[in-house]
Structure 1
C-alpha cells in the first residue's frame, strides 16, 4: 500500500485546474449576414456563437444584437499586481447553473448574489455578465448575529447543549416565534433537527450528508430541506398497531408519538391521530422512510472491506517516469483513484460523527474477467466482514458475493450497470435504465396527466414496451415518411390537463419538428416534453436550449445537482484536501462508502436497513428493493426538469 500512497498523492497534487474567461463583444447584425460570416469576421466558430445566443439557431434578424466571444491571451507586459486588481467577471452561457458557477470560482451562493443583486429577482440569463467576488475581501461586519436577507428562508441545525432560548437570542427572535415556525419542537428540541428561523420555507427531511466537525455534534448528521408537510386526521381502526400505522404512514413509532402524545399510552381503537397526508408519504405500499442515520451505541466494532482495482502488481518495476505516464494515460486507474479519494473523504466524515469502524482496503487486482479476490479473502480471513464494497467489474462482484454467500455478508456493487445474477447478498447500487423508465411512468401516472408518446420507427422496442406495459399512454401517429402527423397529434391533446409528450427518437429533424408542434399549441394547452433516458441529440447545438426550457424538459436521473449548504461543505472540503474539484467518480466513492458505513453503524443489520430505510447523499439516493429472484436493486430515482431560469429542478 506504500507504493499506492505515492501514486495517489502524485495524481492528486500534480493535477491543477485553471479557468480562463472569454471577453464578450456585442455585435449588431447586418442585413443578409449569416452566422458563418460573423464567426469568420471575429475569428471564432458558429458553435461558440450559438452557445451564447441559442435563439440565433432560429435565424438572424437585421439590427438584432449578438454576443460574440473574443478570446484574450495573457499579456507579457501586464504585471501580476495589475491582474489581481482587475475585477473578475463571468459570462453566463447556455445550460450553466448557479451551483456550477459557484463551484467553479469557489464562492458561496450568498456572496455571488450579493455581488449581483439582479440574480435574486431575475435569475440567470444567457449572456449575463456576473461579478465574481474576491475571496480575499474581508467581511464588513464582525457581528456574531447571522445576517438574514429579506424573503430568504434561513435554517439552523440544533447543536448539543443548545436551547430554544439560546437559538432565539442568536437570531434575535422570540421563543414564541421559533415555536410557531417549528411546532414540532414545542414538546422537545432534538439535537440535529433543522429549524426554520426566518422567511418561508419547507420543513426538513432526513438526509445523510457530510459535515464539518464544528458544525455538528459527535453523533449527528445534518439534515436538509424537503417539501412542506400537510397533515390530516385519521381514526384508528380495530386491531391496528404501531407497526401497521408505521407502514401506512411511513413514520416510526417515536414520530407517531411526537405528533400524537396520547399514543404514549398505546394504540386504541377510535383514536383520532394527526398524520401526514398521502401526498407526503414516501411510499404508500412500503414501510420505508427517509431517515437521519445517527451513530448507534454498539458493543461490536463493525468491519467494512473496500476492494478497489489499483492493480499495483502491474507496476512492480516501474520507474517514476513510467508511473507518471501511466497516470496520464490510464483512464481506469484515474477512475479508481478518484473513487478512492471520495471513499477516504467518507471515512473521515464518518469519524467526525463518531463512527468507529475497522475499514480494510485491498487491491482487487482485476480485469473484466479476472481478479485476486479469492486469495485476498483466504489470506486475510475476511469471511466475517460486515459488508464489502467492490470490486468494480460485475463478474468479480458476483464472484465475491458467491464467496460470502454462506455468511450472508452484503456485497455492494459500486459501479456496474449490469442487472446481476440473483444472489441473495448482492446489492446493485447503480440504478438501471429499466428502473428509471418505470419511475418516470409511475410519476406520470401519479400526476394523472394525459400521456402521449412520439416514437420514431427505429424505436420499436420502446413502442412494444409501451403497448404491453403502459396501456394508458397514447401513441402519436406518424406520416408515411416517418415524421410526426401534427394534425392527428393535436387531436390527442386534452384541455385542463397537463399533456406529457414522451419523445423517443435520435433524429434531429424529428426532435425539432415535434418541439415546434408543441410550442405551437402552448397558448391553448398545458404541455411538457419528457424523455425516458439520456438523449445525446438534445445536447447538440442544433437543438435550441431555450426551447427545451420553455417545454420544461423532464427526465429520470440516478443523480441530482445538490446545491444545499451540506453539499457545498463537501465540495469545499474535497477541494481543500485534494486541490481539485471532485469528479463524478469521486462523488460516487463518497456516496456509496459513507452510506454503507452509516448503515453499518445502526443497531440493525445492513440487510434490515436496506429493507426499511431510504437514504440520500451528495448526488445519489439509495432505495433498495428486494428482487423476487434474489438480491437487491437500487430504485433511488430523481425526476428532474429544465426550468426557465436555466436551472435544473426536482419535479414534485
Structure 2
C-alpha cells in the first residue's frame, strides 16, 4: 500500500499466531508508536489474521526470535547460521545480556528482487554498478593510540561507544573476548583512538529513512528539543542523556550528539485528529497560548511534555484545533488500560523500604504485639501497605510479570546513617523501582543516594514533594493539585454564580484565601470574627437570593465548621446554596459535624481516593467486590483498609508500567491516566525536581448521605 501527503510508503502485514505489535515493529525496523499511528485500533490488541499497515523504513524485513530459557547470543548465532557480531549489531541492547521474552532481530530476510523488476531497472542498476566501481573507496580508519577504560557500574558497551564516539564493533575488535562475554564492573578494556579524517560529517536528515548501525551522529537543528529528538529516535530522554552525558541543556544549534540509528518520525505524523502544529513566535507566553486555545496550562504541557523545560521562540508545539472535540479530549484525559499492552516480560526488581521496627517487636507475645501496634501508627501503616504490595505482585504474576521483591526495614524516622548503610550494602542500583520509605526525611536520603543510578523512588504516603531529585515520584496528589482540581471545576461553570469565600483566620490559610480571591475576583468575602466565628448578619450580606450561591469553606477548626454549616443549612431553605472546600480534612469528620447538613448542601471536595457508593440496584445499596478485595479477604481474612488498597494500587501501577515500557521514565511519557481500586495516576515532571501525580477525584455529598463521583 502507498499513501498520500509526504510520500510515505506502507506495506501490509498479516498477523500470525503469537505475534504482538512490539515483535512486528522489530521485524520491520520501526516502532510500536509508528504502527499504532497508522492502525489506531491495534492499541486495543491484535489477533491472528488481522492485516496491519506497516511504514516502510529501509524496505528490509528482519527475522525475529523470542528469547527462551537457556538462550545465548552464541547459541542463537549457531541456530540461525549467523554470527554473534551480526546479532549484536542488529540488537545493540543485547550487549547487556538477553532476557526471557525479549524479541531479537536475527538477520535480514532475503528478497528475490531481480524477478520483480523490469529490464530498464536492471540496465540502470548496471550503470550504477559501473559508476560505483570507479569511486574511490574510503580509507580504513587508522588507530593512533589506545585508551584504557575502567568499566563503572551499570555501564554498557553501547554507552561507552557513544562516550568515545566510536562503534561497539570498534571496541570488540580490540577486545576479542567481548564477542562472547559481557562487560563487568571494574573490567579494563582498550579503546582505540582513530586519526582524524578531514571529511564532511554526514548529517542525519529529518526523514523516515533509516540506516542500520549501532550509533550515528545527529546535528542539533532549530526547534529541536530533547523530547523530540528522543521520541523520533525511539528512545527515552534518560537514554539520550546517558548517550550524551555532557549535553548542553540549551541544545545549541549545530551541536553534534550521539543517537542510535532507528526510525525517524516526522512530528506531523504523530498528530491525532483534532490537533495541529503551532510555531511559537517571539515574546509568546504559555498564558497567552492557553487563553487563545482555551485549555489549561496542565493540558498544554500534557500535549507537549518538553514544555517543562520552558517555552522558546521557534518551538513547534501541538495545540487543539478550534471547533473540534480536541478540547474535550484534553480536558477529560484518556484512561490507559496497561494490562492489554504488555510486552516487556523481563524480571522486575522492586525494593520496599518501610518502618517495620522488627528489632523491637516481640511477635510471640500477642498482648505485647497488640499494645505495640496501638502505640506505633507508622508500623500499622507499613504492614497495611506491605499486605497490598504482596497482592499486587501476585496479581501482576498472573499477567505474566514476575517480580523479585526485596524488603528492607528502615526502623524509624530521620535514620540517615542506617539507610545509607543499607543502600551501600545492597544492590539498589539494579532495582527498577523503590517503594518507600514512609517518612519524607528518609525518602530524601534514598532519592539522593539512588539519583546517580537514575533509580525511581516512589513516595507512598508523604504529601511533600522533592524539589531536588529527578528520580523522586510523588504518588499522592499534593494539596495544590487537589485545590486546582476543585477550583477548575467551579471556574468552568462560575458564570451567573455568586461565589462566596469563608476562610479561617490563621496564617496557614492566607495562601488559599489569596488563591481563591485571584481566581474569583468578583467573589464576596465573609467577615469572620475573632475566634473563627461567623455571625448570621455577616452571612446575609454575602448571599444572593436570585443567584446560585457557591460557597467555599476553608477551615480545620471543628468549632468554626460546626458554626458555619448549620447557618448555611438554615439559609438553604430560602437560598440556592452549594458548599465547596479545597481540603476535606479530619475536622469535617468530627462527630459534631453532621453529615446530614453536608449532604443537604451537596458539599463538593477533592480526594486522592475514590470515596463513593460504587453500585446501587433498585434503591438498595449493593457492595461490588473487586478481584483484589476477594483475593485480599481470602489471603488475610479481612477487608483491605485504605492503606492496603494504596499499597496495591501503587505497586500494580508500577509493574504494569514496567511491562509496557523500557523503564518507568519511558512509561510516564504515555498520554493518559491509569486507574485501579481507589487511586488513579498521571505523573508529570516538574521543571525542577521529580514527578508528581496530578490525578485526583472530585466527590460530592448527594441526597440521603450518598457520596457521588463527580470527576
Report TM bin, short chain.
Answer: 0.5 to 0.7
What does residue 500 of structure 2 align with? Answer: 452
- Residue 354 of structure 2, aligned match among 308, 333, 350: 308
Give the structure 2 partner of residue 290 of structure 1. 335
Alpha carbons 1:557, 1:640 under 8 Å: kept:
yes
The match for 1:397 among 443, 457, 460 is 443
> Which residues of structure 2 form unaligned runs of 5+?
1-16, 19-40, 48-100, 102-265, 277-294, 300-320, 616-622
Map of 1:74-93 to 2, 5 A cutoff?
Answer: none
In structure 2, distance between residues paired with 1:366 and 1:309:
6
Structure 1 residue 400: Cα displacement? 1.3
Q: Is the 8 A contact 2:344 2:662 kept in 1?
A: no
Compute the displacement of 1:405 (Å).
1.1
CA distance in 2, matches of 1:318, 1:572: 29
In structure 2, the partner of 1:465 is: 514
| Local SS of the residue matching 2:698 | strand
Question: Could you say which residue in structure 2 is the equivalent of 1:628?
Answer: 687
Match of 1:310, SS?
A: coil
Which residue in the other structure is 2:550 paired with? 500
- Tell me what 1:601 maps to: 659
Q: Find the counterpart in structure 2 of residue 528 from structure 1.
A: 578
1:242 aligns with 2:262: no
**Aligned mate of 1:576, from 634, 640, 651:** 634
Could you list the runs of 5+ residues in structure 1 that have no partner in the other structure?
A: 1-159, 162-186, 194-218, 220-237, 251-271
**Paired residue for 1:643, among 690, 698, 702?**
702
User: Given the superposition, is the C-alpha separation of residues 516 and 339 from structure 1 closer, same or farther in structure 2, using an over 3 Å criterion?
Assistant: closer
> How far 1:293 sits from its partner (Å)?
0.5
Query: What does residue range 18-37 of structure 1 map to in structure 2 within 5 Å?
Result: none
Q: Cα deviation per residue 1:302-342 (whole Å; 9 max; x = unaligned)?
A: 32222223233345998787656645654333322221111
CA-to-aligned-CA distance 1:503-522 (integer Å, 9 cap, x gap): 13456665455445544554
Check the 8 A contact 1:347/1:593 in 2, yes or no.
yes
1:187-586 correspondence runs (5 A): 241-243=269-271, 245=273, 276=325, 278-279=327-328, 281-282=330-331, 289-294=334-339, 296-298=342-344, 300-314=346-360, 326-327=372-373, 329-370=375-416, 372-449=418-495, 450=497, 451-458=499-506, 461-462=510-511, 464-466=513-515, 469-472=518-521, 474-478=523-527, 483-484=533-534, 486=536, 489-490=539-540, 492-493=542-543, 498-505=548-555, 511=561, 514-522=564-572, 525-561=575-611, 563=614, 568-586=626-644
In structure 2, distance between residues paired with 1:634 and 1:537: 25
Q: Distance in 2 between matches of 1:599 and 1:192?
A: 20
Pair 1:503–1:334, CA change in 2 (3 A)? closer
Greater Cα offset, 615-624 or 309-318: 309-318
Choose 339-348 or 617-626, whichever is displaced more. Answer: 617-626
In the alignment, the residues of structure 2 paired with residue 455 and residue 639 of structure 1 have an alpha-carbon distance, to the nearest angstrom, of 21
| CA gap 1:369/1:473 in 2 versus in 1, 3 angstroms | farther
SS in 1 for 2:626: helix
After superposition, residues 49-88 of structure 1 pair within 5 angstroms as none
CA distance in 1: counterparts of 2:593 and 2:369, whole angstroms: 43
| Superposed displacement of residue 549, structure 1 | 0.9
What CA RMSD, in Å, does the superposition of the two structures yield over aligned residues? 4.1
Partner of 1:200: none
The structural deviation recorded for 1:495 is 7.2
Instruction: Please tell me whether the aligned partners of residues 453 and 503 of structure 1 are also in contact (alpha carbons under 8 angstroms).
Output: yes
Offset at 1:455? 2.3
| Bigger radius of gyration among the two | 2
Contact 1:642 1:649 in 2 (8 A): yes
Deviation at 1:633, TM superposition (A): 1.5
Q: How far 1:382 moved relative to its partner?
A: 2.5
Extract structure 1 runs of 4+ deviating beyond 6 A: 246-250, 272-275, 316-321, 479-482
Separation in 1, partners of 2:385, 2:346: 28
Separation (CA, whole Å) in 2 of partners of 1:387 and 1:560: 25
2:446–2:457 CA contact under 8 A, matched in 1: yes
Give TM-score scaled by structure 2 length: 0.50
1:452-488 CA deviation, whole Å, 9 max, x = no partner?
A: 1012434652465236643436233427677546566
Deviations 1:427-461 (A, max 9, x none): 11122223212222122112225321012434652
Structure ranking higher on relative contact order (CA contacts 8 Å, 6+ apart): 1
Separation in 2, partners of 1:476, 1:602: 50
